[in-house]
A and B are shown apart, each in its own frame.
Chain A
Amino acid sequence: MIEQKQKVFVAKLQELPMRIGREVIVDENKIAVFRLSDDRVRAIGGVCPHSHGPLAEGIVSGDYVYCPLRDYKVSLIDGKVQEPDDGSVATYEVVIEDDSVYILL
């Protein structure tokens, strides 16, 4: 059985500033979307598991984002909070079609 995923439009690629997050709320579920320096786009759960900081507002470096509240370092690839802390956030598939960025839920 093929699971039908929901495709949610985020923005045109050019509208996303590099290394500055964009928050998308789908059914009260917060998702943080990032356009990296090499134009890859990543989407992860938007709330840090520790102090519930909005990850979309964090500083982005390489494949990581730093939570703006307590500086937890979260991977944009697998959603894992980096050592010495632990925990993780969800990750979402991203597709780019005709310069439009979508996340699949």
Chain B
Amino acid sequence: MKERLLLIGNGMAGVRTIEEILERDSSKYEITIIGEEKYTNYNRIMLSNVLQNKMTVDEIITNPMQWYEENNIKLVNHDPAVAMDTERKEVTTESGLKLAYDKCIIATGSRAFILPIEGSQLEGVIGFRTIDDTLLMLEQAKKYKRAAVIGGGLLGLEAAKGLVDQGMEVTVIHLEKWLMETQLNEPAGNLLKKDLEKQGIQFLMEKKTTRIIGTTRVEGLEFSDGTTLEADVVIMSVGIRPVTQLAKDAGLTVERGIVVNDFMETSAADVYAVGECAQHNNMVYGLVAPLYEQGKVLADLLTDRPVEGYKGSTVSTSLKVSGCDLFSAGIIRESDEVKSIEAFNGLANSYKKLFIKDNHIVGIVLYGDVSEENRYHKMLRDKKDISELNPVTLLASAEDGGVSDSVVNWDDADTVCGCNGVTKGTIVGAIQTQGLTSVAEVSRCTKAGNSCGKCKGDIGELLAHVLGDKVAQAPTGICGCTDLTRDEIVLQIHEKGLMTSKEVFKELQFRNEEGCSKCRPAINFYLNVAFPKEHEDEKESRFVNERMHGNIQKSGQFSVIPRMRGGQTTPQQLLKIAQVAEKYNVPLVKVTGSQRIGLYGVNKEDLPDIWEELDMTSASAYAKAVRSVKTCVGAAFCRFGTQDSMGLGIKLEERFEYIDTPHKFKMGVSACPRSCAESGVKDFGVIGVENGFQIYIGGNGGTEVKEAQLLTTVETEQEVIDICGAMLQYYRKTGEYAERTAPWIERLGFDHVKAILLDPAQRQALNAELDEAVAGKRKDPWTEVRNNENNEKELYTVGRV
């Protein structure tokens, strides 16, 4: 008969241990898991993403019911263990169920610590720890306006950001002088505070909460200095406490946590503890990586494998708030033995500090730019001797001449995915044995990259490295020249600071030194977006239409479509167009699909003269760029019109014309739901209604018809313009070249895009980024050719003999 293995606690550490055991020997045990919550195992780290609208509850479930069934695991859910008898080897649950075991793992985790002050039991006081807490917070955010978050640590700040995203006014109350004081030092903490203030969070620093005011429901907070703060909801995030009552009652040795040795054995025979409830060598860990390391040790032990024992972990932290990149690991306080070097970049608002003891890095604080986190973290873990490196080299980025450390050179035992504790060896093994060819497949099979996703670049590098020539069949690359995906290429462009197509092709080892007709325009676009100021547009990498500023036709001739913003024209323009068409014998004059007039069948060498004589600007009708805006006549003339659709269309066009996008970006503005401008099939469609404007995004009337989805309704034209700008920039930054907005939204998830565009702080940041990127670049190309600004007239020369 199989031995009975009982796991108390259906959370990340425990279930991970079971997974490790099953991987080693899936038939050794008859497994039962007792869970307190009503959900199957989920990724607790991602709760703040649920709160910030970045993920749904379903998305953070890591082991659905099916997983338990497939592995023959009995799940006793929503029924916490209440008593344990280590003599009889039996555990009792709340419902009275008695479960016998041969081996028992306690992984009860921890709970949010609720300050023992007056009023802490009031309605509206919430700890942030579980799915139910998160759902409660989301629900309360709908009903109430003001939130107070007690505790400016990791969880508190993520909760605060989430509540701001839910539309609440949020104040964080922190006892210490700077935020996240256990992970950050003062300068980094202050940078973080500034960035979070920009995102709408308010702070009360060095304040001690003494009382929660209210009768049945919370009304406010009172502090030790006598001041008060009004609040409708209070989030307690002052820390977590290991859940140990069950173990304590059963007579196990418990201090801060359940005491375990190097083999995760408690003081009782055949009882083990892992995760946040366990205390090893005086340390109780509250982060995920150590829990996974413990799980592996225990799995080895329970499947009779040689086991060295757990030696403790160096913990590292990063914060999941967009726009606040930080990383911290190890010892970050100076002492007689620990010295530090630091670099502060006031321009980029970034900061790095390394703590060094006996020629080894023992601590890291990075803020703003965390691109070096893997490099430093590995030096720390490997206890690399740095006496050879002078401080400047050490602080310099790897690309600036420091020591480059690609994941390819790591040891198999090195962790690539910190969230899920996946080593390089595991990933490489999976790629080899399971024939994986994409980052997504690696994530599915190994869990690496499944949580915060920061390591996906490393996984891509490993894929490229392992598959080598074999990747010719891998359908992952953007074209036949490479097996790298768009994301991998863009990531490396940033990380390696690749400034020209030539460098990209060389550094990323494209099979053709000069790329091909697919990747050349794509790389040129990615570089334009990545380094708008530094990268000089590569004309020879533009497709003919964008190089010649006209659509090439079957005959090899071109079309000329002048700009008429919002579809409005004048008698003078019409006269000019007529004259030019006659003079140059233009074979076809036609009204286009987006309310312009096109001249078709123009010889290349006539283009500059025609543009000169028209004296009009280009409508970009040939470009992967913001196209013209289609409008209906609107409130000024139409009896149904509610808004000035022509006026808004013209404003949108003026504001965004000549901005390059991954694919064409079409807009329409209609003044009522009859939608005469076909707003419902535009990349960005606006429909005027009585109280404002409905905004629809991701529509497409082309090859694959897609209905646009309602994003939101806003009151003012300015909001329409701001949301449009944010969408454009986000599309530019994350879109694959030649990907229309419909598949782009499908790929990223509508809810994700929506959350970004509707977040005031992100919207503002994206608009600022867009403005900076296109400053001085939104020029009419026809005028530039007419003035021969870049010797472009040569392009229109045809030799005749």
Contacts and interface: CB of A to CB of B under 8 A. Distances in A.
A23 B515 contact: no
B738 interface: no
A3 B516 CA distance: 38
Contacts of B521: 59
A20 B543 contact: no
A20 B516 CA distance: 14
B547 A22 contact: no
Interface stretch (B9-17, B325-333, B793-801): B793-801
A73 B516 CA distance: 9
B797 A22 contact: yes
B540 A60 contact: yes
Contacts of B794: 15, 17
Interface in B497-543: 512-517, 520-521, 539-541, 543
A60 B541 CA distance: 8
A26 interface: yes
A25 to B, nearest CB: 5
Given A17-B540, A20-B539, A68-B552, A61 B517 contact: yes
Contact of A62 (B512, B548, B554, B799): B512
Contacts of A11: 797, 799
A80 to B, nearest CB: 17
B447 to A, nearest CB: 40
A85 interface: no
B554 A66 contact: no
Contacts of B547: 20, 57
Interface in B779-801: 794-795, 797-801
Contact of B516 (A15, A33, A53, A61): A61
A73 B479 CA distance: 14
Contact of A18 (B517, B540, B543, B799): B540
B85 to A, nearest CB: 74
B544 A8 contact: no
A61 B552 contact: no
Nearest to B521: A59
B556 interface: yes
B666 to A, nearest CB: 23
Given A22-B799, A24-B798, 6 more contacts: A19-B540, A23-B799, A25-B800, A26-B801, A57-B548, A69-B552
A105 to B, nearest CB: 9
A60 B552 CA distance: 17
Nearest to A23: B798
B551 to A, nearest CB: 11
Interface SS of chain B: mixed
Given A20-B547, A24-B798, A52 B556 contact: yes
The 6 closest A-B CB pairs, nearest first, are A24-B799, A66-B517, A19-B540, A54-B556, A61-B514, A57-B544
Interface residues of A, number: 31
B514 A51 contact: no
A22 B793 CA distance: 12
B792 to A, nearest CB: 9
Contacts of A98: none
Contacts of A17: 539-540, 794-795
A100 interface: no
Contacts of B795: 17, 20
Contact of B544 (A10, A24, A58): A58
Nearest to A61: B514
Contacts of A59: 516-517, 520-521, 540-541, 543-544
Interface string B545-587: 0011000101010000000000000000000000000000000
Nearest to B798: A23
Contact of B540 (A20, A27, A68): A20
B517 A58 contact: yes
Nearest to A29: B801
Nearest to A36: B514
Contact of A69 (B514, B540, B554): B554
Interface of B: 512-517, 520-521, 539-541, 543-544, 547-548, 552, 554, 556, 604, 794-795, 797-801
Nearest to B553: A69
A62 B513 contact: yes
A39 to B, nearest CB: 14
Given A19-B540, A20-B539, A57-B544, A62 B514 contact: yes
A17 B600 CA distance: 27
Contacts of A22: 797-799
B135 to A, nearest CB: 52
A86 interface: no
Nearest to B801: A26
A45 B520 CA distance: 24
A57 B799 contact: no
Given A17-B795, A51-B554, A57-B556, A24 B517 contact: no
Contacts of B799: 8, 10-11, 22-25, 33
Nearest to B547: A20
A15 B797 CA distance: 11
Nearest to B542: A59
Contact of B798 (A15, A25, A61): A25
14 contacts: A10-B799, A11-B799, A15-B794, A17-B794, A22-B797, A23-B799, A24-B801, A51-B554, A54-B556, A57-B544, A59-B540, A62-B512, A62-B514, A68-B543
Interface in A36-71: 37, 51-54, 57-62, 66, 68-69, 71
A101 B552 CA distance: 27
A25 B801 contact: yes
Contacts of B541: 59
Contacts of A33: 799
Nearest to A47: B556
A8 to B, nearest CB: 5
B514 A8 contact: no
Which of B543, B794, B799, B800 gathers most chain A CB within 10 Å? B799
Given A18-B540, A19-B540, A20-B795, A57 B552 contact: yes
A70 to B, nearest CB: 11
Contacts of A66: 516-517
A71 B517 contact: yes
Contacts of B548: 57
Contacts of B513: 62
A100 B514 CA distance: 26
Contacts of B552: 53-54, 57, 68-69
B204 to A, nearest CB: 59
Contacts of B514: 19, 37, 60-62
A43 to B, nearest CB: 11
